Amino acid sequence: MKIGYVRVSKQEQHEMLQIDALKEAGCEKWFLDKMTGSKAERQGLDEALAYVRPGDTFVVWKLDRAGRSLTHLIELLKGLTERGIEFISLTEQIDTTTPGGKLIFHLMGALAEFERDLIRERTNAGLAAAKARGRVGGRPRKPKTNGKIALARQMFTDHSHSIPEICAALGISRATLYRYVKEAEPLT
């Protein structure tokens, strides 16, 4: 059975062009979403994926109708393949029921992996450059006041207050309190 999926990006776009193409391709049932492709939750797509069974073919008018990104599209196609469901994109003429369609699918997967590697490489290069300039990641620490540190240490060593009481009174986290106490201890 061929199951179709239709997505239109804007409310003013009409879905009939896609539905007509799916009917012509032999789809007996189709599911519809009227929203942008970048939205993570797409009810129509979720319903379509729940409906298709092994041996069925999932059909879209165009690749960008199914996936938010190349990575998402590859994950979607991989999930369909693992479930024994074929995939057809009418506009791009990708058909995983044919050897050529499977080749295109694998090439897309390789390109997606290449894209992820490039992003990782650029991210690591940026972090290394920032580190070389003396910048560190994360949220900047609040400036320490020696009075607050001394008071935290005193309250901790006196055992006059519980840890949560000390943290609440000084407006610091448990980890910060332990760091202040540790900094005061002489190294052996």
Q: What amino acid positions are annotated as catalytic residues? A: 9
Taking the CA atoms of 61, 107, 104 and 102 in sequence, report the sign of the dihedral they define: negative
Q: What is the DSSP secondary-structure string of 11-80?
A: TTS-THHHHHHHHHTT-SEEEEEES-TT-S--HHHHHHHHH--TT-EEEESSHHHH-SSHHHHHHHHHHH
